Amino acid sequence: MIVVGLTGGIATGKTTVAEELRRKGAAIIDSDQIAREVTAPGSPALKEIVEAFGPEMLTAQGTLDRKRLGSLVFGREQARRRLEAITHPRIRAELRRRLEELRRQPHPPAVAVAVIPLLYEAGAEKEVEMVVVVVSAPAAEQVRRLMARNGLSREEAQARVAAQMPIEEKARRADFVVDAAGRLEETAQQVAKLWHRLIMGPASKPPR
């Protein structure tokens, strides 16, 4: 089973690429979904988050107010690192558990894709042996998509993009790059080529 770490910048098209890979038979593990599960009501992680950042991080229903927490830690490195110290070890442990569960299946999938937006920032590529695929798009396109998708102002969207590792740096470190700036059909064609390379086996993996 080949493990793919799928990453990229905010609003570059990771979800689109993951869905294309799912259609081709890949098993998808979404780290954002894992993050929601490990911070569910009653979880130790949620308790630690409330202790660290205050009860206002909870909604009226007792769930984590992810938008408020994101606004609190955005641009504040110390707060962000404190949050990551609570959540990242749990997310990584659950990711490893799910990958092992896939491997133990009678007929494991040929490819398992772990969607990890902050893969390089979190050092996740060192945790699990994986082929890293970066989904890229120009910063201007990221800003446009964020404004449309999240209702952000141009200044807010630009700040979100600028706060992440530059997409050029991620692309430089990747094993494969999918340019998702264009039409869906063009992205799908690139994913088809990627899939072919993946199922050919490790010998097709280019050097970093």
Residues forming a β-bridge with 114: 5, 29
Q: For tokens 């999240």, what's the residue? A: 150
Tens digit of each residue's pLDDT, the chain (208 residues): 999 999 999 999 999 999 999 999 999 999 999 999 999 999 999 999 999 999 999 999 999 999 899 889 887 889 999 999 999 999 999 999 999 999 999 999 999 999 999 899 888 887 778 999 999 999 999 999 999 998 989 998 998 898 889 999 999 999 999 999 999 999 999 999 999 999 886 544 444 4
CA–CA dist 107, 69 (Å, integer): 40
User: What DSSP state is assigned to residue 165?
Assistant: P
175, 205 contact by CB (below 8 A): yes
Domain 2-26+109-199: give its CATH architecture.
Answer: 3-Layer(aba) Sandwich (3.40)
136, 171 contact by CB (below 8 A): yes
Half-sphere exposure in the Cβ direction for 156 (13 Å, CA): 12
